[in-house]
Chain A
């Protein structure tokens, strides 16, 4: 195969390389090795959702008009006919009802945004729980957190753009949060809105932020995020042959590229399915925004709900000093997300400093092996969930006929009590799981084979995992086999659904076949045959 330069492909390749000198780079890229685990694909789901956002967003810009010029609606949607509204809202209605495929693309755009942030959150949890943020990857953790917040702001700008009843309400809340900042609040708000809310400038500003500034920043940070992964290499699980100094996995081409392409197409397909089948943000049902109207049951998108929940739960404490007032929304609206972000940003550095850990870590940790960190994550997730559920407390109160005040107080008490409880339970769970791993390593796998002794006593046969001299294996930081089938005690299943499609192999000595389960085998078997008895 080498030296053959007469075919079309080799000649084209040679011609390209003569101009681009890219052969070395391409070869290195194609041979780049990626470790394999399902949890490493979570970040890719976010990446492909982002690609889908760019594609569908580009389509939407062709038809969307970010202007608040007052128009009267003359489109096909009868309930809104002849109502005064902004050109932005009218053009969103046009995308939904008149542009061919417009509603599908709009809904896909919205679903992709929700999926993007969901994938980011789950990906961050994976990184945190497995310790993938540790040295040398702290910077990528910081970039990831910035990506989350950028995605958050990008999503907020996006659903504020159609100027429907719901998005105007969200914008009003954002303005209230801005206003609540001591000293500079009113200046910030009037600067952003160009005067009093809602003003005439904000839609245009949101639009340029939504289609140019933030996507540009997002794309740049995504590129930096990926470049850092390429440069620092991917982390891997501690398995046989995996060390701190190597990367074991599949090459980019063909294995990883094929898998990743499959995932990309699946993500695209899922978004198309969601956008095509499940309605999201039906702006025609909300009506055009009127600054004086807030509809009951207004809900932000899921990723904003925790902030909304904080605003709903925080008590109306207003601090009045000599010249300034610090209104209540300042604490849940500005301080809370600020503190959460700072804690997350500082975590890798603080934990390095506290544990005097200056080493490079390329091997991941199982969540159970670092109980305190895992418990901390459970605590954070519980805190977040209580806030998120509280953002829907009016809906829950109405649906289940609970008093809204009771929901608020349940949220307040839950916010203080549930996270410590989650911390305690998770920590105990981790320690128990560790103990069970050690127990299996020390005493062997429970085979489920029950034997009755000559004295009439019952005993279960254990399959030791250690060496023949009876010493237990040391824990290797990876899953301990806990089922007989994991260590080959079970003869391989015969392929075929209704009828076998292959001749069954003779089981190896000691292997159990499915036929042994039948009760006829009860009398046929002899005590503990071919098993290493404990």
Chain B
């Protein structure tokens, strides 16, 4: 997992540098920092850093995987990988909710932002619990 952590860390560092450079450049040429792009780049850096940190923490907790060793065989990696949701419409719902909230900010319609946020919470819960909630209790 170290490799993954490094990949994400490098991207995060790059994005952080670009964000700082972009902010400075826009301030230098136009007299004020361009908020939209700087925020987007900064948040992207934070997101990548978050993934990288997660991988770094996990890599300390679990033993080395075959992928992490130079002398491993393909056959050593055989086995169950875990659970990955095969299909879900919830990401679409999350997108719609987030889009509604963003429109609310863009047009100053705060009620729409509230609606979008509530819907976002619902959609995120739906995504997380889709394969768990509502399982029959008695069998």
Contacts and interface: CB of A to CB of B under 8 A. Distances in A.
State the majority secondary structure of interface residues on B: loop
A448 interface: yes
Interface in A182-233: none
Interface stretch (A15-23, A425-433, A481-489): A481-489
Given A446-B87, A490-B131, A522 B77 contact: no
A37 interface: no
Given A449-B83, A523-B62, A483 B131 contact: yes
Given A492-B137, A519-B58, A527 B78 contact: yes
Contact of A455 (B58, B74, B82, B131): B74
A512 interface: yes
A411 B131 CA distance: 43
B86 A516 contact: no
B80 A485 contact: no
Contact of B83 (A448, A455, A523, A527): A448
B90 to A, nearest CB: 13
A189 B129 CA distance: 61
State the majority secondary structure of interface residues on A: mixed
A448 B102 CA distance: 32
Contacts of B87: 446
Given A460-B86, A485-B134, A449 B80 contact: yes
A422 B69 CA distance: 56
A452 B79 contact: yes
Contacts of A526: 79-80
Contact of B79 (A460, A519, A527): A527
A519 B82 contact: yes
Contacts of B80: 449-451, 522, 525-529
Given A484-B131, A490-B135, A514-B132, A451 B83 contact: no
Interface in B124-139: 130-139
B56 to A, nearest CB: 13
Contacts of A486: 135-136
Given A450-B84, A484-B131, 20 more contacts: A449-B80, A450-B83, A452-B79, A454-B75, A454-B78, A455-B74, A455-B75, A456-B77, A458-B81, A485-B132, A485-B134, A486-B135, A490-B131, A493-B132, A519-B62, A519-B82, A523-B62, A523-B63, A525-B79, A526-B79
Interface of B: 58, 61-63, 65, 74-75, 77-87, 130-139
12 contacts: A450-B81, A455-B75, A484-B131, A485-B134, A485-B135, A485-B136, A519-B58, A521-B82, A522-B62, A522-B81, A523-B79, A525-B79
